[in-house]
Structure 1
Amino acid sequence: MTSKVPFYISVLLLVVAGIALSMFRHQNYGVPWTPGETRQVWDIEARVEFTAQDKPVKASLAAPQTQRGFTLINETSSSSGYGIAYVNSDVGRRAEWTIRKAKGPQIIYYKAQFLVDPQAKAQIKPPAKEIIKPTFDGPVEAAVLALIDQASQRSSDDPTFARELIKALNDEDSQNSALLLNNMTKVEAVDKVLAYAQIPSKVVGVIELEDGRRRQVLQLMNQVWDGERWQLFNPESLQQQINPNILVWDQSNVSLLDLIGGQNSQVHFSMISQEVTPRQATSDKIEADGLLNFSIHSLPLEEQAMFKTIMLIPIGALIVVFLRVIIGLKTSGTFMPVLIAVAFVQTQLATGIIGFLLIVGTGLIIRSYLSRLNLLLVARISAVIITVILIISVFTVVAYKIGLTEGLSITFFPMIILSWTIERMSILWEEEGAKEVVLQGGGSLLTAVLVYLAMTNGYIQHLTFNFIGLQLIVLAGILMLGTYTGYRLTELRRFKPLAEED
């Protein structure tokens, strides 16, 4: 007897592969598990104003990039007469505008779009190996040493050291903190004390995202290297719970704006939030990250619409296998109900059922006449196909003339499949009688309705279209159902007399 162990291993591998592909698509592409979800996108606009001095102008603005929690999906610039370039320098990304000659007030706009993305893949740049140790006056240096000693005793690593240092600087009763903050801001104090303690850190400019906010300026915060990534700290707050709506705009640790050929420069930020569909968010993320996308979403929209229906057919096949193998429901043809259900999706259920009954009923009447002519099989089937086409044409015209526009959709029925269905039912009528035709025809219609309900379920449509790994799980389920050799549920009625005797 052949061992079924390899078969069960294959089924298990299909399930594991399907789950792995689905998880990969969710984690890397951000596709949600449920339909109806939306993704948040922030449009942030930087307005650069300055006065040109009637000579060549070069304006260099720190440009943001993909970071933890946010994926940069688009950036544009509006600057009349200026050339624009995005430059990757030693201090980070910058947007540079240049013009041969400009005079008077100038306004430049830079706009960036960020997708709120927990799976954002940020390029983390480690700190420079050498840290330049700052110098302080004698009393200030003594205060710095006291603060370093206090923070060292209360911390276990660099991030906790920075946290304890910020607590000390916000202590109003601390003379050391007061002396240090006499000539510098808290951001500068934290940065210099950390550098003095040889702890990698830098000053960054952040924006607090708030829908509809206008003319916002950058807020300076500190970042500390923990060995793997940069951790953000707000020196103005004892509570180091960083708002998730904080976006790091300027990571250069140098300057937000460098201007040559101008003066009186200002940079203000405005922002607005919008919601986009998961499909749009996934498309934007793939384009922004340069990911290889082998999913259906990479196809043109026309082909995507076609595959949206095709990917539902395996679900219909699973339902048909379950109804035939486990329930024991009889159908006319193996997968004819699936194709009829696909037609129902196009015609809507009520119109589809009426159209199906009219076409099959009329076809059976005409087929009964053809059987008297003793035609060969090929000629008879060809005649039935032509008859079905004529029936659909007549019903469509009649429906249009009497104002039933829903009847126009019966042209979506698969004509060849209907022709074979009529042929099989006609032969079944002759061999088994009308009762068997009603049983198989009714079973086919019931199965088609159940498959239609599954195909039009929003949750099933979302999963089959967005997670191709689900098809492997469906295949594994069909293979397992194919090994069932027990009684069908409809066959158990044969044991009813035995149960009554007991």
Structure 2
Amino acid sequence: MTSRVPFYLSVFLLIAAGIALSVLRHQNYGVPWTPGETRQIWDIEARIEFNALGKEAKVSLAAPHTQDGYTLIGETASSPGYGVSYVSDQAGRRAEWSIRQAQGPQTIYYKTQFLVDPQAKVTMVPPMQEVVKPTFEGPVETAAIALINRATERSADDISFSRELIKNLNDSESQNASLLTNKMSKVEAAEKLLSFAQIPNKVVGVIHLEDGRRRQSIQHMNQVWDGKKWVLFNPETGTQPTHPNLLVWDESNISLLDVVGGRNSQVHFSMIAQEVSPQQATNNKVEADGLLNLSIHSLPLEEQAMFKTIMLIPIGALIVVFLRVIIGLKTSGTFMPVLIAVAFVQTQLTTGIVGFLLIVGTGLIIRSYLSKLNLLLVARISAVIIAVILIISIFTVVAFKIGLTEGLTITFFPMIILSWTIERMSILWEEEGAKEVLLQGGGSLLTAVLIYLAMTNSYVQHLTFNFIGLQLVVLAIILLLGTYTGYRITELRRFKPLVDGD
């Protein structure tokens, strides 16, 4: 007897691979498990204004990149007459504009799109240079050392030290803190104190995302390196910001905006939020990350629409296998109900059922006449195919003439499959009688309706199209059903007399 271990091992591997691929797609691409969800995209526009001096001008703006919680999916620049380029170096990304000659007021627009993405892939860049210890004036240095010593006593690592140090800076009763903050801003004081304590840190520009906000200025905060990532601190409150709508725009630790050949420069930010479908968000993220996407979502939209229907066919096959193997329902043909259900999806259920009954009923009448002619099989089938085409044509024209536009969709029925169905039902009628035809025909129609209901379910459509790995799970279930050798549920009625006898 052949061992079943390899078979069950293969089924287990199929299920494991299908689930793993689905989970991977959910985590890496952010595809939701349920339909109807949306993803948020922030459009952020930087408006740069300055007065040109009538000579060549060069503008450099710190540009953001993908970070924790946000994936950069697009950026554009609107600057008539200017050349634009994006430069990356150790200090970060910058957008640079240049022009040979400019005079008077100038306005440049730089727009970015960020996808709110908990699975954003971020490569943390550690500090590249050693911390330079700053110098203070005599009394200021004494105050700085006192604040550092106090924070050291109340901390255990760099992050807790930074938190305590910034708390001390915000202590209104501390004379040492007042001495420092009278000489410089809190963000500058925090940077110098952290550097004096030899802790890697930098000043970053942060934007508070608020839908519909206009002419917002950037807010400076401190970032501290904890050995694995940069941790953000707000020097004005002495806390680690946990607000989800904080976007770090400028990580250069140098300058937000540099203008050569102009004066009175300034930059303001405007932003707006929009909701997009998960599919659009996924496509945007794939393009932005440059991910190797071998799924059907990399195809043109027309082909994707075709595959959206094709991916539903395995669900129909699973229903047919379950109904035939477990329930014991009889159908005319093995997978004819699946193709009929696909036609129902195009025609809608009521129109599809009426069209199916009309075509098959009329076809059986014509086929009964052809059986009297004693034709060869090939000729008879060909004649039935032509008859089905004529029936569909006549019904379509009649439906159009009487104003039933739904009848035009009857052309979606698979003509060859219907022809073979008519042929098989006709032979069955001659051999088994009308009752068996009604059983198999009714079983086929019932199966097609059940498959239609599954195919039109929004959850089924979403899962089959967005998680290709689930097809492997469906295959594994079909293989398991194929090993069932017990009684069908419809066969249990044979034991009813035994139950009545007890």
TM-score, with length taken from structure 1: 0.99
Q: Work out whether residues 166 and 190 of structure 1, in 8 Å CA contact, stay in contact via their aligned partners in 2.
A: yes
- CA deviation after TM superposition for structure 1 residue 90, in Å: 2.6
The one-letter code matched in structure 2 to 1:425 is: M
Residue 240 of structure 1 deviates from its aligned partner by: 2.6
Q: Quote the residue 2:173 is aligned against.
A: 173
- 5 Å matches for 1:323-402? 323-402=323-402
**Counterparts of 1:337 and 1:23, CA distance in 2:** 32
In structure 2, distance between residues paired with 1:101 and 1:493:
93
Measured against aligned partners, the alpha-carbon deviations of 1:416-465 in whole angstroms (never above 9, x if no partner) come to 00000001100111111100000000000000000000000011001100
Q: 1:195-217: CA deviations, max 9, x gaps?
A: 01111100000100000000000
- SS of the residue aligned with 1:446? helix
> What whole-Å deviation, never above 9, does each CA across 1:163-217 have from its counterpart, x for those lacking one?
1111111111112211221201111111111101111100000100000000000
Equivalent residue letter for 1:298: S
Q: Which residue of 1 aligns with 2:188?
A: 188
1:138-158 CA deviation, whole Å, 9 max, x = no partner?
222222122112212222211
Residue identity opposite 2:342 in structure 1:
V
SS in structure 2 at match of 1:207: strand
Is 2:146 aligned against 1:138? no
What is the distance in 1 between the residues matched to 2:152 and 2:433? 93
Q: Which runs of 5+ in 1 are unaligned?
A: none
Q: What CA distance in whole angstroms lies between the structure 2 residues aligned with 1:176 and 1:49?
A: 40
- CA shift, 1:242, in A, is 2.4
SS in 2 for 1:364: helix
Structure 2 counterpart of 1:272, one-letter code: I
- Give the secondary-structure state (helix, strand or coil) at the position aligned to 2:97: strand
Structure 1 vs Structure 2: percent identity of aligned residues? 78
Instruction: Give distance in 1, aligned partners of 2:38 and 2:18.
Output: 25
Return the alpha-carbon distance in structure 1 between the equivalents of residues 240 and 58 of structure 2: 38
8 A Cα contact 2:163 2:239, kept in partner: no
2:23 matches 1:30: no
Does the aligned pair in 2 maintain the 1:232–1:242 contact within 8 Å? no
Higher mean C-alpha deviation, range 354-363 or range 140-149: 140-149
Deviation string 1:275-305 (CA, Å, 9 cap, x unpaired) is 1111111111111100011111111111111
1:497 maps to 2:490: no
Instruction: Quote how far apart the aligned CAs of 1:274 are.
Output: 0.6
1:361 aligned counterpart, secondary structure: helix
Whole-Å Cα distance in 1 between the matches of residues 16 and 175 of structure 2? 63
Query: Do residues 48 (structure 1) and 54 (structure 2) align?
Result: no
Partner of 1:7: 7
Q: Given residue 292 of structure 1, which amino acid in structure 2 is its aligned partner?
A: L
Question: What's the CA shift for 1:129?
Answer: 3.7
Give, in angstroms, the shift of residue 238 of structure 1.
3.7
Question: What per-residue deviation string (whole Å, max 9, x for no partner) do you get for residues 214-263 of structure 1?
Answer: 00000000001111111111111144342110000000000001111111
Aligned-pair CA distance for 1:399: 0.6
Q: Distance in 1 between matches of 2:58 and 2:238?
A: 40
Distance (whole Å) between structure 2 residues aligned to residue 142 and residue 109 of structure 1: 46
Distance in 2 of aligned mates of 1:241 and 1:127: 21
Structure 1 residue aligned with 2:431: 431
**Structure 1, 308-317 or 124-133: larger mean CA deviation:** 124-133
1:296-339 Cα offsets, whole Å, 9 max, x none, are 11111111111000000000000000000000000000000000
What is the CA–CA distance in structure 2 between the aligned matches of 1:154 and 1:128, rounded to whole Å? 29
Letter in 2 for 1:66: T
Unpaired runs of at least 5, structure 2: none
Paired position in structure 2 for 1:108: 108
d(CA) in 1 for partners of 2:463, 2:150: 56
- Which residue type is aligned with residue 302 of structure 1? E
- 5 Å-filtered alignment, 1:229-308, equals 229-308=229-308
Cα distance per residue 1:90-145 (max 9 Å; x no partner): 31111111111111111111111111111111232110241100011222222212
SS in 2 for 1:75: strand
CA distance, structure 1, for counterparts of residue 37 and residue 472 of structure 2 = 25
Greater displacement, 201-210 / 74-83: 74-83
- Mapped partners of 1:6, 1:89: distance in 2: 55
Question: Over the residues paired in the alignment, what is the CA RMSD in angstroms?
Answer: 0.9
What amino acid does structure 2 have at the position aligned with 1:390? L
Between 129-138 and 404-413, the greater mean CA deviation after superposition? 129-138
Deviation, structure 1 residue 30: 1.2
Supply the distance in 2 between the matched residues of 1:368 and 1:390 (Cα, whole angstroms): 17
Q: Secondary structure at the match of 1:217?
A: coil
1:65 is matched by which residue type in structure 2? H
1:67: how far off? 0.8
The code of the aligned residue for 1:247 comes to: L
2:59 is aligned with 1:59 = yes
Q: State the partner residue of 1:149.
A: 149
The DSSP-based 3-state class of the residue aligned with 1:485 is coil
Deviations 1:448-484 (A, max 9, x none): 0000000000110011001100100000000000011
Q: Deviations over 1:18-41 (max 9, x none)?
A: 011101111111111111111111
Give the count of matched residue pairs: 502
Q: Cα distance, 1:11 vs. partner?
A: 0.4
Matched, 1:216 2:207: no
Code of the residue aligned with 1:45 in structure 2: it is: E
Distance 2:150 2:4 in 1: 69
Q: Deviation of residue 44 (structure 1)?
A: 0.6
**Quick one: distance in 2 between partners of 1:470 and 1:155?**
50
> 1:233, 1:242 within 8 Å by CA — same for their partners in 2?
no
Q: Secondary structure at the match of 1:121?
A: coil
SS in 1 for 2:131: coil
Residue equivalent to 1:89: 89
- Which consecutive segments of 4 or more residues in structure 1 shift more than 6 A? none
Q: Which residue is equivalent to 1:487?
A: 487
- The answer as to whether partners of 1:234 and 1:242 remain within 8 angstroms in 2 is no
Specify the code of the residue in structure 2 equivalent to 1:485: T
Partner of 2:464: 464
In the alignment, the residues of structure 1 paired with residue 497 and residue 161 of structure 2 have an alpha-carbon distance, to the nearest angstrom, of 82
